[in-house]
Amino acid sequence: MNELKTKIRIDNFNFYYGKKHALKNISMNVPEHRVTALIGPSGCGKSTFLRSLNRMNDLIEHTRCDGTVVVDNVNIYDDAIDVVELRKKIGMIFQRSNPFPKSIYDNVAYGPRINNIKEKKQLDEIVERSLIRAALWDEVKDDLSKSGLALSGGQQQRLCIARAVAVDPEILLMDEPASALDPLATTKIEELIHELKGKYTIVIVTHNMQQAARVSDFTAFFYMGEQIEFDETKKIFTMPGKKQTEDYITGRFG
Amino acid sequence: MIQKKILSASVSSATALSAFFILAIVAVVMGNIIIEGSSTITWEFLTGKPTEGMTQGGIFPAIFGTFLLVVIMSIIGVPIGTITAIYLTEYANQRSPFARLIRFAVNTLAGIPAIVFGLFGLGFFIQFVGSSMDKALMPAGQLRWGQPNILWASLTMAILTLPVVIVSVEEALKSVPRELREASLALGATKFETIWKIVLPNSLAGMLTGGILAVSRGAGEVAPILFTGAAYFLPKLPNSLSDQFMELGYHIYIMSTQSPDVEATRGIQYATTLVLLVLTFALNFSAIFLRYRVRKNMAH
Amino acid sequence: MPQNQLKKKFRLGEVIAEKVVTIVAFFSLAMITLIFVFVFRETLPIFYGADAEASSVPAQIEQQETYGGEGVQEVAMQSKTSSHDTEGIASIDNLTGTTWQPVSGKPKFGIVPLVLGSLKVSLIAVLFAVPIAILAALFTSSFAPKWAKELMKPAIEILAGIPSVVIGFFALIVLASLIQNIFGYQYRLNAFVGGVALSFAVIPIIYSITEDAISRVPGSLTEASLALGASKWETAIYVVLPAATPGIFAAVLLGIGRAFGETMIVLMATGNAAMLSASLFEPVRTMSATIGAEMAEVVFGETHYNVLFLIGSILFLFTFVLNAIAELFVRQRMMKKFQGI
């Protein structure tokens, strides 16, 4: 673990919904170009934690947090940080695929256009590159003007991935990206994650332990807002250090 | 047991009877006006102006005046209502005192009797704003803005219909799924970019619904324009904002209560009423249809 | 991630958008304030003692005494024959008097008959509308077969969408004769006709809010009642209605507010004579109809003008209070009731 460069360093991070203490003293180092899985029973705080990494939780009223989240030496909770610019660097894929009710092309081009890329040729290039990267290009290249909503569930989710990578992020946050998909589509997404990690640092929330075991290099186990254990996935699944982790992995609760 | 059965039957039949009574009211009112009104409506009636002391001729000036009234009203009211709805759903912190105060103001505005809006139009637009404009713009003693006209009537109506617009647009904005907003923001779009490129295009039909409902309401209200701009009889169409105008609802009121021979013009009264009904219902139904489509889309 | 790229940016567009939106949102609030200010402002001269110029009534007004419909002529007649008071200004005494004769040589501004007239017509309308609307709402939610439900929804929307001037017209031409034929009284236009016509406008309000309140009654409640062996109607009367009471109360309050403030229907259907009478079948003149009929004819700044604004202020305050009670009190109670607090 030492030879890996740390991309995100979380130190003593706490998060509160009103009076509810949702995340307690989370600390971990997320390595660059690796997949880090967050697992735990529902309500354990794993999604809240994920949404703290691109400050999506800022949108919810009456929440607060303390501690630091440092990405490449930059504390993203620093007052001088621009949240909008931050989110361009840290993309997010949601649990339910959420393409805009626009064409496939316009979905992918949404981010670049916001970044003031207007030239048709350049946009075409980005759209093609992103769709290729999301392993969707071959399926849709003949009909880019089709509505994103007309795609199948698995294709929609890959469209969302293409949309996210189109703005050139460094980190991809995925919130149970395959939970609403059938096994075949899930396999495709998992393969895609495997390919993407060469270019991006990926943090993925999943409730599916086999999935975590299959796709991730590191795994953090959350329980009741606390980070119980964080280690290499291999180690977590073969010889967990904590009793609670073992209980969860062997299906004794959750 | 028999007693219980009688009670049961009487309760359910009383409710059914009430429902039937409401259906009967609707059927009788609509039926009466459609049957009596349709016999007088001709092309000349719709396109001609009143003649022979309003006992003959058509109602084109009233149709035109109503149209002009709702157009000016919409130009003013729809943008203000839409932006207020955007504030309430997108920008306001729901628990902030300011947002609550605005919501309270909108609710209050919705409950004020139409006639009080008329008083306000008279006291504020005509007596205060209009008179001040005359003092500044016109030669001493001359009246132009300090009297009833179509501008003041339209503005009064715009305020009256403001809550209608706000409530419909709010509903439309709220129907845009949170996931779409989050997707946009997660891509690094700003709040305004998200509203402009994602929220508004996806609530366009809802905003249109709000506008149409407001127009329908504005076309049907008479009390606010009784003394802010509607005229008894004008052979000429208004060609300036400071002109008075004829209006369908006001025309019905005048013709059925004030004209020298009320009986003789019954046909005109019914026909005018039918025109107003057709106008408001055409608007209402298109709004209902649009709203239905919006809900269906959102469910998808 | 390079830090300088993440530095907080000043986005002028965002700031302007937010400011503009907030300022425009302020508009509704400003309007309410202005309505308060400008409607009340015009009533002030009454209390500061009006000026003498108001005492002479311009001739043009005399000519237009027929304005406002059939009943007004009677008032005008009365006002020519009986005139004791010499005061042209509206002292408090005068205002609380029982005679409304604003356009006579010696005007009297007693608003008591107008207030009572409004109350009378509203009461008739509400007494008529409340049982029908509530029972019909109960029908749709508890008893109706599907086709009847689907018929009621558009019917209510149509009734709610009929402009009040159309209801007034229908009452004036058809309803008045119909009711006169049934009861055979003297005046064709009267409080009863006005009240019944007004109920057409009130029914959709009470129906919609009641139906909404009933649909919010938790399904578990009705299921529990039915599971205990209660019949449909017992459940409706003993479980659903009581649970929806706060909402129904709000519905009735809003209905009263609507009835009290409605202008065109009463202006066209009540006969508009400002007389004190306990009879249902005598003409009345309501506050709203008085403003509607007389405001176009008065001279600005005259006492009559100010008194009409005073009547408007009373209307405004009354509906404001009713709405506030319906909004705040009832909604909170309804929430508390279901949360079991």
Flag if B116 and C35 touch (Cβ within 8 Å). yes
Chain C residues 9-48 with CB within 8 Å of chain A: 9, 11
List, for residues C66-100, the tens digit of each pLDDT value. 333 443 444 444 443 333 444 455 566 677 777 88
Domain of residue C25: give its range.
11-41
What pLDDT score was predicted for residue C74?
Answer: 40
Which of A91, A101, A114 lies at the smallest CB-CB distance from B193? A114
C164, C279: one domain? yes
Q: Is the pLDDT of residue B235 over 80?
A: no
Q: pLDDT at position C338, please?
A: 46
Set of chain C residues whose Cβ sits within 8 Å of the Cβ of B223: 164, 263-264, 288, 292
* Nearest chain C residue to B195, by CA: C17
Query: Does some domain include residue C56?
Result: no
For residues C20 and C158, state if they share a domain.
no
Q: Which residue of B has its CA nearest to A59?
A: B182
Task: Give the whole-angstrom CA distance, residue C184 versus residue B283.
Answer: 40
Q: Which domain holds residue A40?
A: 6-249
Say whether pLDDT at B157 is over 80: yes
SS (H, E, C) B208-257: HHHHHHHHHHHHHCCHHHCCCCECCCCCCCCCCCCCCECCHHHHHHHHHH
Q: To the nearest whole angstrom, how far is the Cα of A99 from the nearest Cα of chain C?
A: 25
CATH of the domain at A94: 3.40.50.300
Alpha-carbon span C111 to C102, nearest angstrom: 10
Q: Are residues C29 and C158 in the same domain?
A: no
Query: Domain count of chain A?
Result: 1
Q: What is the least distance, in Å, from the CA of C142 to any CA of chain A?
A: 37
For chain A, the average pLDDT equals 91
**C145: in domain:** yes
Average pLDDT over residues A133-159: 93
Interface test with C, best of B257, B259, B280, B283 (most C CBs within 10 A): B257
Chain C contacts of B284, Cβ < 8 Å?
157, 161
Write the pLDDT tens digit of every residue in C100-116.
Answer: 887 777 777 888 889 99
B184 vs A56: CB contact, 8 Å cut-off?
no
Hey, what amino acid is at A5?
K
| Gap from A85 CA to chain B (nearest CA, Å) | 6
Domains of chain B are: 39-299 (1.10.3720.10)
pLDDT per residue as tens digits for the range C304-334: 888 999 999 999 999 989 888 887 766 655 5
Contact A74 C7 (CB under 8 A): no
pLDDT band for B141, please (50, 70, 90 cuts).
Answer: confident
Q: Which residue has the higher pLDDT, A105 or B264?
A: A105
- The verdict on C18 and C157 lying in the same domain is no
How high is the mean pLDDT of chain B?
88
pLDDT at A105: 96
For residue B124, pLDDT over 50 is answered with: yes
Question: C203 and C335 share a domain?
Answer: yes
- Does the residue C290 lie in any domain? yes
Model confidence over A214-239: pLDDT tens digits? Answer: 999 999 999 999 999 999 999 999 98
Nearest CA in chain B to C257: B111
Looking at residue B300, its pLDDT comes to 47
Q: Do B182 and A94 touch (CB under 8 A)?
A: yes
Count A/B contacts: CB-CB distance under 8 Å: 62
pLDDT digits (tens, 9 = 90+) for C170-206: 999 999 999 999 888 888 889 999 999 999 999 999 9
Is the pLDDT reported for residue B159 higher than 90? Answer: yes
Q: Is C146 on the interface with A (CB under 8 A)?
A: no
What is the structure's pLDDT at C81? 37
Q: pLDDT tens, C153-177?
A: 889 989 999 999 999 999 999 999 9
Residues B22, C152: C-beta atoms closer than 8 Å: yes
Chain C hits for B83, Cβ within 8 Å: 20-21, 24-25
Would you state the pLDDT for residue A205? Answer: 95
Query: Which chain B residue shows the shortest CA-CA distance from C145?
Result: B16
pLDDT at B288: 79
- Chain C residue closest in CA terms to B116: C312
Q: Is C4 on the interface with A (CB under 8 A)?
A: no
- CA distance to partner chain C, nearest, from residue A87 (Å): 10
Tokens standing for residue B61: 């000036």
Residue A42 corresponds to which tokens in the numbers above? 């529902």
Is residue B172 over pLDDT 50?
yes
Whether residues C28 and C126 fall in one domain: no
Burial of B14 (0-12, 13-18, 19+ CB in 10 A): middle
Structure confidence at residue A10 as a pLDDT band (50, 70, 90): very high
Asked if the structure places residue C223 within a domain, the reply is yes
Pairwise CB contact (< 8 Å): C29 & B80: no
Adjacent-strand bridge partners of A8: A30, A71
Rounded Cα distance between B33 and B29, Å, is 6
Closest partner residue to C29 among B105, B115, B223, by Cβ?
B105
Whether C186 maps to a domain, the answer reads yes
CB distance B188–A61 less than 8 Å? no
Burial label, C181 (beta-carbon count in 10 A; 0-12, 13-18, 19+): exposed
Query: Looking at the domain assignment, is residue A88 inside a domain?
Result: yes
Mark yes or no for CB contact A74/C6 under 8 Å: yes
Express each pLDDT in C294-303 by its tens digit: 888 888 778 8
User: What pLDDT shows up at residue B299?
Assistant: 53
State the CATH number of the domain containing residue C169.
1.10.3720.10
Contacts with B251 (C-beta within 8 Å, 6 or more apart), sequence order: B59, B62, B272
The pLDDT of B154-163, averaged and rounded, is 95
What DSSP element (H or E) covers A13?
Answer: strand A6-17
Q: Please state, for a pLDDT cut of 70, what percent of chain A lies above it.
A: 98
**What are the angstrom distances between the C-alpha of C317 and each of B239, B262, C36, C39?**
38, 36, 9, 11
Same-domain status, C190 and C288: yes
- Give per-residue pLDDT as tens, C1-49: 666 778 888 889 899 999 999 999 998 889 989 998 999 988 888 877 5
pLDDT tens string B26-63? 999 999 999 999 988 888 888 888 777 777 778 899 99
Ranked by mean pLDDT, the top range of B202-206, C50-54, C117-121, C150-154 is C117-121
Identify the pLDDT of residue C272. 81
Same domain? For C27 and C120 the reply is: no
Interface test with C, best of B5, B6, B21, B26 (most C CBs within 10 A): B26
Asked, for residue C28, whether it belongs to a domain, the answer is yes
pLDDT at C49: 59
C216 and C335 fall within a common domain: yes
Domain count, chain C: 2
What does the alpha-carbon distance between residue A109 and residue A44 come to, in Å, rounded to a whole number? 35
Rounded mean pLDDT, B77-82: 93
**CA gap B187, A114 in Å, rounded:** 9
Which one is predicted more confidently, B204 or C97?
Answer: B204
Neighbours of C221 (CB within 10 A): 15
Q: Is the pLDDT of residue A253 over 60?
A: yes
pLDDT at position A76: 92
How large is the average pLDDT for residues C109-138?
Answer: 92
- Residues A185-215 have pLDDT tens digits of 999 999 999 999 999 999 999 988 889 999 9
Same structural domain, C127 and C22: no
Q: Which of B10, B13, B18 to mutate to test the interface with C (most CBs of C within 10 A)?
A: B18
- Using CA atoms, how far residue C323 sits from A169, C134, C257, C317, in Å, is 53, 19, 7, 10
Is residue C242 assigned to a domain? yes
> Residue A204: beta bridge partners?
A37, A174
* Residue C99 forms part of a structural domain: no
Q: Are A110 and B95 in contact (CB < 8 Å)?
A: no
* pLDDT tens digits, A98-121: 999 999 999 999 999 999 999 999
